[in-house]
Amino acid sequence: MAENETEDALPEPDAPAPGGRGLAAVAGAVPVVLGAAAAWLSLRLDIGTLTDPGPGLWPLIVSALLVATGIGILVSARRAGGTEAFTRGAISVAAAAVALFAYASLFEVVGFEIPTLLLLAAWLRFLGRESWLSTALLSVGVTAAAYALFILGLGVPLPHLIVL
């Protein structure tokens, strides 16, 4: 056994590339915008007084905190990175999210079997790069197992087409 790797420090499995200054600015801008919007909505609720707080007071305090921290991040964005650059893999993430939104929308319309089968097949084949054969076997198998577990086993009233 060679001892050529003992000098390694902490293992960092696939340490992602740090993001640039633009991304750091986005990290500060998001809380500011979000906080400002929430503060505006809170002001339209009843603020009340400190003695008798209305429903809007607490959200207003929290929104102000969000804006303040966002400004803090913007100020420190010049030196601190702390973000991760988006890689080409982000396309997979977006695709997966779209597939999941479609899944959730179809679910109550056509029952859970077809969307589940399609989601599994698409994910295994295109995101997992499985072969067509294992894609077909796994997606049918997992859908059947989910049917057995959730509908027959746990009695969860999932909308379904096949009635056993």
Partner 1 sequence: MDLSPVLTGFSVAFEPENLLFCLLGVTIGMLIGVLPGLGPAATIAILLPITYNLEPAAAVIMLAGIFYGAQYGGTITSVLLKLPGEASTVVTAIDGHALAKRGEAGSALGVAALASFIGGTASILLLSFIAPALAGVALAFGPAEYTVLALIGIFLVGTLGSGSLVKSAAAAAAGLLLATVGLDPLLGTPRFTFGTDQLADGIDFVIVAMGLFGIGEILYNLEHRDRPQSAVPAFGRAIPSRAQWLRSRLAILRGSAVGFVLGILPGGGATMSSLVAYAVEKRSAKDPSRFGKGAIEGVAGPESANNAAATSSFIPLLTLGIPANATMAVLFGALMLQGITPGPALMTEHPDVFWGVVNSMYLGNLLLLALSIPLIGVFVRMLKIRPGVLAPITIVITMLGVYSIRNNAFDMLLAVALGLVGYAMRKLGFEPGPFVLAFVLGSLLEGSFRRSMRIFGGDVTEFVQRPLSATLVGVLVLTVVVIPVLRAVRARQIDRATEPAES
Q: How far is the CB of 132 from partner 1 (least distance, A)?
A: 14
Residue of the chain from 33, 43, 93, 148 that contacts partner 1 (CB under 8 A): 93
Q: 23-50: b or e for each residue (b if 16 or more CB lie within 10 Å)?
A: bbeebbeebbeebeebbeebeeeebeee
Query: How many chain residues touch partner 1 (CB under 8 A)?
Result: 84
Residues numbered 9-48 forming contacts with partner 1, rule: CB under 8 A = 9-11, 13-14, 16, 19, 23, 26-27, 30-31, 34-35, 38, 41, 45-46
Length of the chain: 164
Return contacts of 62-67, CB within 8 angstroms, 24+ apart: 62/38, 63/35, 63/36, 63/38, 63/39, 64/35, 64/39, 65/35, 66/31, 66/32, 66/34, 66/35, 66/38, 67/31, 67/32, 67/35, 67/36, 67/39
Residue-by-residue DSSP string for 92-110: HHHHHHHHHHHHHHHHHHH
55 binds partner 1 (CB under 8 A): yes
Q: How far is the CB of 77 from partner 1 (least distance, A)?
A: 10
Residue of the chain from 21, 22, 40, 72 that contacts partner 1 (CB under 8 A): 72
Residues numbered 100-159 forming contacts with partner 1, rule: CB under 8 A = 100-101, 103-105, 107-108, 112, 116, 119-120, 123-124, 127-130, 134, 138, 142, 146, 150, 154, 156-158
Q: How far is the CB of 48 from partner 1 (least distance, A)?
A: 9
Q: How far is the CB of 16 from partner 1 (least distance, A)?
A: 6
Q: How far is the CB of 123 from partner 1 (least distance, A)?
A: 4
